[in-house]
Amino acid sequence: MSGIDTLPPLRAVIADHGLSARKSLGQNFLLDLNLTAKIARQAGDLSQCDVLEIGPGPGGLTRGLLAEGARRVLAIEKDARCIPALEEIAAAYPGRLEIINGDALEVDPLAHLTPPIRVAANLPYNIGTELLVRWLTPEDWPPFWQSLTLMFQREVAERIVAAPGSKAYGRLAILAQWRSSARIVMSLPPEAFTPPPKVSSAVVHLEALPGPRYPADPAVLSRVVAAAFNQRRKMLRAALKGLAPDIEDRLLAAGIAPTERAEQVGLEQFCALARALARP
């Protein structure tokens, strides 16, 4: 018996349903239900929220979310082998777990969710960053989600929360921090997973802000940041020269020395540069 519900332990679920982990699907499972409940608690008060979970696998985090009181969980899982195990969880929590057998990159979850919505997931490593970037760059802000509580490889987590001047600082930090607050809330060693991955992991919690910290056109900011960090060792006047013929003047107008490198430039300055570039 697990500590958090009356369903069988996850090792038994995996054995009963033949869920041998597949590397191609990024399957590193969490089997300790105390740990999955702890991750669920990092997502905040779930009692009034629908929770979107990507890649529930055998359902360890799903059980944590439900046991911690999530109003409803929508779980999208690509691996059809996991669906019967997830259906057993749905039966134990009537009306609170909806399962979709599909690819999270293709399914539109919004039709299945009622706001307020929080996202919580131990993401498959191969699509984690792509999903995060999508969630951070919707057409309109605020986005459909109130918060994201996501497990990443430690190195990716550090890129999300990085400050200027560090090696990890780049496009992901700016995208994440411009309109959200982002922090690492848990660190997990490889042995927390079955099978253990090669690297450590960390849970990042992002809360959507009502609006951007500094004004900027999202498309212009995205273009500037991509160009600046694509050639991160170059001075900005060189890295950005394709964006405007008078890039030095625009950098100066934004209060940035043209000889600076992207790594040294903070979010506020990048937003000022995006505004300077948007002017005719």
State the residue number with the nearest CB to ligand SAM: 55
207, 185 contact by CB (below 8 A): no
Q: How far is the CB of 65 from ligand SAM (least distance, A)?
A: 10
272, 252 contact by CB (below 8 A): no
170, 164 contact by CB (below 8 A): no
Residue numbers of the site for ligand SAM (CB under 6 A)? 25-30, 54-57, 60-61, 76-79, 82, 103-105, 122, 124, 127
Q: Output the known binding site for S-adenosyl-L-methionine.
A: 28, 30, 55, 77, 103, 122
Q: Which is nearer to ligand SAM, 145 or 169 (CB)?
A: 145
List, in sequence order, every residue forming a beta bridge with 77; answer none if it has no partner.
101
Q: Which is nearer to ligand SAM, 82 or 228 (CB)?
A: 82
Q: How far is the CB of 56 from ligand SAM (least distance, A)?
A: 5
Q: How far is the CB of 57 from ligand SAM (least distance, A)?
A: 3
Q: How far is the CB of 145 from ligand SAM (least distance, A)?
A: 17
Q: Which is nearer to ligand SAM, 76 or 224 (CB)?
A: 76
Q: Which is nearer to ligand SAM, 34 or 166 (CB)?
A: 34
